[in-house]
Amino acid sequence: MKQFIYSYDNKRYHTLDYYNKQKYRTKICKISLNAGFTCPNIDGTKGKGGCIYCSPSGSGDFAGNPKEDLLRQFDEIKQMMQRKWKDAKYVGYFQAHSNTYAPVSVLKEKYECILDLENVVGLAIATRPDCITEECLDYLEQLNQKTDLTIELGLQTIHEKTTDLINRCHDVECLDEMVRKLADRNIKVVVHIINGLPYETKEMMVDTVKHVNTLPIHGVKIHMMHILEKTALAVLYRKEPFPVLSKEEYVDIICEQLKYLKPEIVIHRITGDPKVEDLVAPTWLVKKFCVLNDIDKEMKKRDIYQGDLI
């Protein structure tokens, strides 16, 4: 059995943990924050109601309490992290909603108050590709000179029929253009995709990964679609039940997708992480480590590695 080049523990794909430990030689903890932003897909600029899977918290269910200021949010989560990793360093993760959807003066105030904290080595900023102005790009380029900056962009799927169904309100060309603009400024980009979106086939999901692999990106986050209470997706599911991937189907798709990703692309996430009390389906997602273990076992069984088909 060969040793995967980007691994120290017999993993067959390039984990974020491996990347961080190679770069920092210590544990890196992401502190999820809710800075109180909204989204052009919610306020009517692009659409209303948001993406149909988006929770009321703007997919920031594990982020801090938006009623508290960012410094207090950061400190509360950091204290929990320190119980397990006393010598960790931190990345401030602006997670909820679209975190570049504000004037640059507002962004600067919010980002840099976190950047100034002790042992913060970087920022991760989650947003949409249609929420970064040229002025914002200029600022992000400056910020990238100060810290380890990562911009996380939601793509979810390359398939127009699905993007219309999920009310995404931007197309794949918008994502591609913004990835290249950020890469031209040497800013790391992580692209989010979702497996199991309504009515998508395995081949469609693999095609999304094949496209992502052509982009100048640092990493990907692969989510399993999960249906949460108080979302339009839950309403659709109860009105017109659609097939939801089983754990075995999901593991099979992940194994196939990883073969089409260049080995140097970092896998920042490889499954969903739902809030259990709000989860409608699939219930197997609550056992996250079982999913991860099953992916490892299946890759070993098939004797495959990330990038095998590149």
Show the domains of the chain with their CATH numbers: 16-302 (3.20.20.70)
In whole angstroms, give the CA distance from residue 224 to residue 281.
11
Separation CA 15–CA 133 (nearest Å)? 31
pLDDT in tens for each of the 310 residues of the chain? Answer: 678 999 988 899 999 999 999 999 999 999 999 999 999 999 999 998 899 999 887 676 777 888 899 999 999 999 999 999 999 999 999 999 999 999 999 999 999 999 999 999 999 999 999 999 999 999 999 999 999 999 999 999 999 999 999 999 999 999 999 999 999 999 999 999 999 999 999 999 999 999 999 999 999 999 999 999 999 999 999 999 999 999 999 999 999 999 999 999 999 999 988 889 999 999 999 999 999 999 999 999 999 999 999 9
For residue 140, the 8-state DSSP code is H
Distance of alpha carbon 122 from alpha carbon 218, whole angstroms: 15
Residue 58 pLDDT:
66
**Among 301, 199, 195, residue whose Cα is nearest residue 257:** 195
What are the Cα distances from residue 43, in Å, to 63, 67, 196, 280?
A: 21, 20, 27, 26
240 CB contacts (<8 Å, ≥6 apart)?
Answer: none
Contact 142, 170 (CB under 8 A): no
Query: According to the model, what pLDDT value does residue 9 have?
Result: 86
Element (H, E) at 6: none
- Write out the DSSP string of 99-114: TT-S-HHHHHHHHHHH
Q: For the chain, list the strands marked E by DSSP.
A: 28-33, 89-94, 120-127, 148-156, 188-195, 219-224, 227-228, 266-269, 279-281
Convert the pLDDT of each residue in 243-288 to its tens digit. Answer: 999 999 999 999 999 999 999 999 999 998 888 999 999 999 999 9
According to the model, what pLDDT value does residue 46 have?
92
> For residue 27, how many C-alpha atoms fall within 13 Å in the half-sphere facing its CB?
12
What's the CA gap between 216 and 212, in Å, rounded?
9
Q: 187 and 149 in contact (C-beta within 8 Å)?
A: yes
Single pTM value for the model: 0.96
